[in-house]
Structure 1
Amino acid sequence: MKKYLVVFGLFIIILTGCSSNDEQALENDSGTQQEKQEESNSNETNGDDKSEEQNQVEKEKSEDLTIDVSAFEMGYDPDKITLEVGKEYELVLTNEGQIFHDLTESELDVEITYMSEMAEHSDEQSFLDTFFSFQKVYADEGHGDKKDDGMKSIHMNANAGQTVSIKFIPKEAGEFEFYCTVPGHKEAGMVGKFIVKE
């Protein structure tokens, strides 16, 4: 009988030990699963951060290729613009002045890829034109309304308060002057410069 009690006691101890090991194994499994879940969540968060960072970098890259220029009486801001050959830029001109202005550059070899709707050159003369006795002269340097018209130079027209844009790719390096073709404006200092690097 003692023998049976000893065997029964050992059996109970073994069962208890197994049960304890199973619980420990389950705890370890659930701990491992919880760690894996936390790691997965952390990776997803890092992935979100990474994609946000990538989006920010892409946004900054596209912003670097967008150039905002203000036209006013009698100048541009900025009046010096640095470009690189072969990159596509969007030039956005806002006329913050009280009269019609344009921005023209006819020497730089460019490929025009997009042009927004532009204002027509006004038939009315501005106060300055009348004051200085300038006659109305239209710019005649390769300006069509769209790239399909064969426009090979930069020419943008804007009424007071209007914003227009053009996309273009510079094809050559050098320094190129841009200016307003409205009579008297260039002479009054409404000029700027594209500096195109290789």
Structure 2
Amino acid sequence: MNQTNRLPLVLILVGLLVSGPVLAHSEQHVAQHSAAVIKEQKPWGIAGDLEQVSRTIEIGMSDAMRFSPDQLKIRQGETIRFVHRNQGQLLHEFVLGTKAELDAHAAMMAKFPAMQHDEPYMTHVGPGQSGEIIWTFNRAGDFDFACLIAGHYQAGMVGRIRVLAE
């Protein structure tokens, strides 16, 4: 293969290598989970199904680094459809977890801001966009949610969920 024939292949490969980190936290990466969600039990619950939704909770995201509401009470066994509306000009995300899990993830995001991740307990929402998560809270306890984009968590973009025992 001569130099002229290799150029398109080289450009495609470079494009693939560069585009992943750029799209990891860009406006184009907005809460598009694949149809086949892997259901893995977490301490804070498990991915839910649309047919099982008990209720919908809307959560606003702002560039003031706040969620609204930022305190929720949910009954154990409820499947919640969270609808996230980004009212700001920056990309935000919503990640469910325990405080320890979120702290660890936030530290990784600070070190590797272009880190790619897409789990059923998180959504990335571009400016003026909306996203959603369907989650079943099958464990009682106090859990957290946060925007783990570097700087957002540290600025206080966090919330709390109390799951009340049946």
| TM-score, normalised with respect to structure 2 | 0.55
Indicate how the Cα distance of structure 1 residues 192 and 178 shifts in structure 2: closer, same or farther if over 3 A, else same. same
* Structure 1 contact 139–181 (Cα < 8 Å) conserved: no
C-alpha distance in 2 between matches for 1:159 and 1:105: 18
Report which structure shows greater RCO (CA 8 Å, sep ≥6). Answer: 2
> Partner residue of 2:80?
89
> Partner residue of 2:139?
172
* Structure 1 contact 138–181 (Cα < 8 Å) conserved: no
* Structure 1 contact 134–184 (Cα < 8 Å) conserved: no
C-alpha distance in 2 between matches for 1:77 and 1:171: 24
| One-letter code aligned to 2:78 | K
3-state SS of 1:183 partner: coil
Indicate how the Cα distance of structure 1 residues 183 and 139 shifts in structure 2: closer, same or farther if over 3 A, else same. farther
> How much does 1:168 deviate?
1.5
* Structure 1 contact 103–157 (Cα < 8 Å) conserved: yes
C-alpha distance in 1 between matches for 2:136 and 2:142: 15
Segments of 5+ residues of structure 1 without an aligned counterpart are 1-62, 109-132, 145-150
Residues 25-64 of structure 1 aligned to structure 2 (within 5 Å): none
> How much does 1:181 deviate?
1.0
Corresponding residue to 1:71 among 61, 64, 68: 61
> How much does 1:78 deviate?
0.2
Corresponding residue to 1:182 among 141, 149, 156: 149
Percent sequence identity is 26
> Partner residue of 2:8?
none
Indicate how the Cα distance of structure 1 residues 183 and 95 shifts in structure 2: closer, same or farther if over 3 A, else same. same
| One-letter code aligned to 1:72 | S
How many residues in Structure 1 have an aligned counterpart in Structure 2?
A: 103
Cα shift readout 1:1-55 (whole Å, capped 9, x = no counterpart): xxxxxxxxxxxxxxxxxxxxxxxxxxxxxxxxxxxxxxxxxxxxxxxxxxxxxxx
C-alpha distance in 2 between matches for 1:194 and 1:167: 15
> How much does 1:138 deviate?
2.5
* Structure 1 contact 68–91 (Cα < 8 Å) conserved: yes
Query: Which has the higher Rg, Structure 1 or Structure 2?
Result: 1
| One-letter code aligned to 2:144 | E
Q: Which runs of 4+ in 1 moved over 2 A?
A: 133-140
> Partner residue of 1:162?
129
Cα shift readout 1:123-174 (whole Å, capped 9, x = no counterpart): xxxxxxxxxx98624265xx34xxxxxx4xx201100011111211101111
